[in-house]
Structure 1
Amino acid sequence: MHVLIVGAGLAGLTCGRILDSLGVNVTVVEAGDGIGGRVRSDYADGFTFDRGFQVLFEAYPAARRHLDMEGLHLRRFDPGAIICLHGRRFVLTDPLRDPTAAIDAALAPIVPPFDKLRILLLAQRLRRQPIDAVLAGDDETTLAYLRRCGLSEQTINVFFRPFYGGIFLDRSLRTSAKCFRFDFKMLSEGAAALPAHGMGAIAEQLGTPLRERGLIRLHAPVTALIDSSGRVTGVRLESGEELSADAVVVATPAPEAARLSGLPMPQGALQTITLYFGGDRPVYQGRKIVLNAASDALVNNAQMLSNVAPEYAPPGRHLLSVSVLGASSLSDEDLSRAALADLRRMFAGDTAALAALEGYQPLRIYRLSYAQFPQAPGIHPLLPDNRSGRPGLYFAGEFTEASSLNAAMISGEKCAAAVMEDRQA
């Protein structure tokens, strides 16, 4: 049996690895010049630039199944965050997992004491529940769920909007509460981490066994599926070459899957911009993410990546990553200038941070026009199945599960299982 996989993102690579391990003849075709899809890293002048700010949640079940976590040499963020508002900075953390910051967090007035207790109780409750229970029941927006948990508008605005807005790319918190509960559980059970050599190391680890045996073809964009008597039997490449197969797996982002298959896919696109700045000294100490709680924020979150993973910068240099939600009509130069101005507002009054920022220069900007698909409450039961309904055609992509690295790998697993079940039928 020959299976042709279109797309070398995490879902396609996971599917390909599983099928290959089961003795299936696999070919992966990828339009771009490298594997990983949206999970790639670039390297220049000793710096590591992930294509968009991303982290790996250590507790992701699929990551634990498919990745050699030790081999990634993970560098971990500290729990919680530094919240910037009105020229002041406050620490919020999980005192059980971050005892060194527990006193500062307990004394921080930005979150009411009873809300701190509610957050701890929520973490404990979700840690005790299996994932199926966390995802069960009726859905609602994250905002409605947080309010139902008794959290104040102040806490929602200063912490949950920027922190989970950075994860969901939407500070309105209209995202499904099931997504929130899952991510909250993952962050309460394990750290957010970076591979020492960039997020692209995840894809490299998944793809190396396939690539070493010549099973991945790069620079091979697919223009159309080939249909024979109602069955998908291959693909046509942009070069005009036709490749035949017993089954075709479309493992692309949802818009491309819709174009190739003609079938409905999740609509919409959440956009984000990641800016990288380099300097000679860190803007702040520690390994926490920094949140901008201002209602008119341009910068949603910033992180000293070289504090977390020193390998991200050359010796004597430091790397700062800045996230801006949505798109921007500003030029790269103007956007960099505006982001630095917002950073100065975030660190107002901190003379050391402001002095450090004076020496920071823009290094790279990544504008991601399709970073995630919107996940409104109730969307997940409506997502496509791994079986397309057309003989010979399967889907492997986050759009069959949820928008996350974990979901992409789970979709790859399920797709491989579906192919094998149908082969044996």
Structure 2
Amino acid sequence: MEKSAYKIHIIGAGISGLIAAQILENHGYCPVIIEASNSVGGRVKTDVVNDYNLDHGFQVLLTSYPAAQKYLNYDALELQQFLPGATIFKNGKSQTIGDPLRSLSLLLPTLFSSVGTFSDKIKILQLNAFLKKKTLTDIFKTEEKSTLNYLQNFGFSKDMIQTFFKPFFSGIFLEPNLETSSRMFEFVYKMFGDGLAVLPKNGIQAIPNQLKNNLKTTRFQFDTSVKEVKNNLIILQDGSEIKTHFTIIATEASHLVSNLKNQETTWKSCDTLYFESKTRNIQKPIIGLIADEKALINNIFYHTSIETSAKAKQELLSVTIVKEHDLSEEKLVKKVTEDLKTYCNIFDIKFLKRYRINMALPKLTNLQYEISSTETKLTSAIFLAGDILLNGSLNAAMISGERAALGVIQTLEDGLIVDELTSEYS
């Protein structure tokens, strides 16, 4: 049976699904991606609203992600760099800190900032050196504790944790108390230290768009919702059925496979609100952190501080909220507007759009960096992919997609069930 004749279906056109398709294509197969929405990207999407690129949540790409280096063409993405630091808003004042070794403009403001003690600044250098030497394999073998406990054990002061680490990493982990595994902290911190935080000129969806455009023989079936997946059968929400040799589920699988019904992933949620502003009070391409505990808002960023393909005439401001709340959109916009005035001295803004992202990041324990292709195998014909298998990152999404596809390929090459499939579909 020709490789191209095998029916291999991938459910979900997010990063994992697209990488899985690429690996299958590289080995001569022609998969079909079934996607519930009308475009690729999954959680990595961008809308154009009023001539602004609005990402679904504030997202960045870390250039040091090994899998991203392997699968993305950075030059073609026209990546725009963030400064390696942050402007911190506290008690009605702001100050900027960062890594002066990587951006000289941050040297004086960091030296003269009141954020953290002198001891804290020494410990930052020690943490940088420690994680520079630590391998990714070692990071994910280290005993897990909460990030908060990790920072406390490292010796950082309460003020340093509250003023910098909490708002910065809460915006990444999408939870306000730094309960996230220390493995994730070390991994993300190392990735920030080894590379740059960037955004494509066309918004974050340029990443899955590039992966889609790399595919040559993959077929897409958009606006198609799957109800159930069985060994050689996919049942759609409209009741129609698709016969298949293999299925890679590159999305939440618990509601699709009967024996996973009680293993649903818990998800972290967040809100991102976009505003139009005539001016910006952070001139450089750097994130703003709100360190006041009473504030609802966590971090802000002026997307027009970096080069963008959008043709907007004013400034674009995003605001991220990770704390739980039960506010209606109207009351949320009002509260955020008040917080921006109170804590950031930001006035005269116009609300554009709110994104409530209920499934922003998986809430995971026992985080892993790697997974073998055999570990992605659920049944003889069903494989799993997605960052939920490893850790909540773009890097993990890519690795898991690659491994699931290799699992399918290995099964075929081993000839374990080829005869049975060939006779059934001949």
TM-score, with normalisation over the residues of structure 2?
0.91
> What corresponds to 1:229 in structure 2?
none
Tell me how far apart the structure 2 counterparts of residues 238 and 43 of structure 1 sit (CA, whole Å).
Answer: 30
CA contact (8 A) 1:292 1:301 kept: yes
Matches within 5 A, 1:25-424: 25-210=30-215, 213=217, 215-226=219-230, 232-253=231-252, 257-261=253-257, 262-263=259-260, 265=263, 267-312=265-310, 314-348=311-345, 354=346, 357-358=347-348, 360-376=349-365, 378-380=366-368, 386-424=375-413
Relative to 1, partners in 2 of residues 1:315 and 1:273: Cα closer, same or farther, differing over 3 Å? closer
Relative to 1, partners in 2 of residues 1:347 and 1:59: Cα closer, same or farther, differing over 3 Å? same
Count of residues in correspondence between the two structures: 406
Tell me how far apart the structure 2 counterparts of residues 381 and 11 of structure 1 sit (CA, whole Å).
Answer: 15
Q: Which moved more, 1:31-40 or 1:132-141?
A: 132-141
> What corresponds to 2:3 in structure 1?
none
Tell me how far apart the structure 2 counterparts of residues 387 and 406 of structure 1 sit (CA, whole Å).
Answer: 16
Relative to 1, partners in 2 of residues 1:318 and 1:381: Cα closer, same or farther, differing over 3 Å? closer
> What corresponds to 2:417 in structure 1?
none
1:59 Cα offset (Å)? 0.6
Tell me how far apart the structure 1 counterparts of residues 248 and 95 of structure 2 sit (CA, whole Å).
Answer: 48
Tell me how far apart the structure 1 counterparts of residues 198 and 89 of structure 2 sit (CA, whole Å).
Answer: 22
CA contact (8 A) 2:16 2:385 kept: yes
CA contact (8 A) 2:59 2:204 kept: yes
Relative to 1, partners in 2 of residues 1:214 and 1:110: Cα closer, same or farther, differing over 3 Å? closer
SS in 1 for 2:232: strand
CA contact (8 A) 2:297 2:339 kept: yes
1:25 Cα offset (Å)? 2.2
Tell me how far apart the structure 2 counterparts of residues 387 and 303 of structure 1 sit (CA, whole Å).
Answer: 37
SS in 1 for 2:304: helix
CA contact (8 A) 1:265 1:383 kept: no
TM-score, with normalisation over the residues of structure 1?
0.91
CA contact (8 A) 2:100 2:107 kept: yes
SS in 1 for 2:31: strand
CA contact (8 A) 1:275 1:322 kept: yes
Tell me how far apart the structure 1 counterparts of residues 56 and 147 of structure 2 sit (CA, whole Å).
Answer: 27
Tell me how far apart the structure 2 counterparts of residues 178 and 416 of structure 1 sit (CA, whole Å).
Answer: 26
Mind listing any 5+ residue stretches in structure 1 that lack a counterpart?
227-231, 349-353
Return the letter of the residue paired with 2:412. Answer: R
1:381 Cα offset (Å)? 9.4
Tell me how far apart the structure 1 counterparts of residues 57 and 7 of structure 2 sit (CA, whole Å).
Answer: 34
Relative to 1, partners in 2 of residues 1:213 and 1:137: Cα closer, same or farther, differing over 3 Å? closer
1:169 Cα offset (Å)? 0.8
SS in 2 for 1:136: coil
Cα distance per residue 1:172-218 (max 9 Å; x no partner): 111110000000000011111110001011010111243x6561110
Return the letter of the residue paired with 1:418. Answer: G
Return the letter of the residue paired with 1:329. Answer: D
Cα distance per residue 1:370-424 (max 9 Å; x no partner): 1112234x35499997434322010011111111111101111111111111111
Tell me how far apart the structure 1 counterparts of residues 241 and 303 of structure 2 sit (CA, whole Å).
Answer: 44
SS in 1 for 2:359: strand
Cα distance per residue 1:282-338 (max 9 Å; x no partner): 2321111000101112110000111023434x2431100000114532222221121
Relative to 1, partners in 2 of residues 1:315 and 1:52: Cα closer, same or farther, differing over 3 Å? closer
Relative to 1, partners in 2 of residues 1:279 and 1:365: Cα closer, same or farther, differing over 3 Å? same
Tell me how far apart the structure 1 counterparts of residues 223 and 125 of structure 2 sit (CA, whole Å).
Answer: 49
> What corresponds to 2:424 in structure 1?
none
Cα distance per residue 1:243-271 (max 9 Å; x no partner): 11111111113xxx101123254632211
1:136 Cα offset (Å)? 2.2
Tell me how far apart the structure 1 counterparts of residues 20 and 371 of structure 2 sit (CA, whole Å).
Answer: 19
CA contact (8 A) 2:136 2:369 kept: no
1:31 Cα offset (Å)? 0.7
CA contact (8 A) 1:169 1:271 kept: yes
Relative to 1, partners in 2 of residues 1:310 and 1:26: Cα closer, same or farther, differing over 3 Å? closer
1:157 Cα offset (Å)? 0.8
Q: Which moved more, 1:266-275 or 1:4-13?
A: 266-275
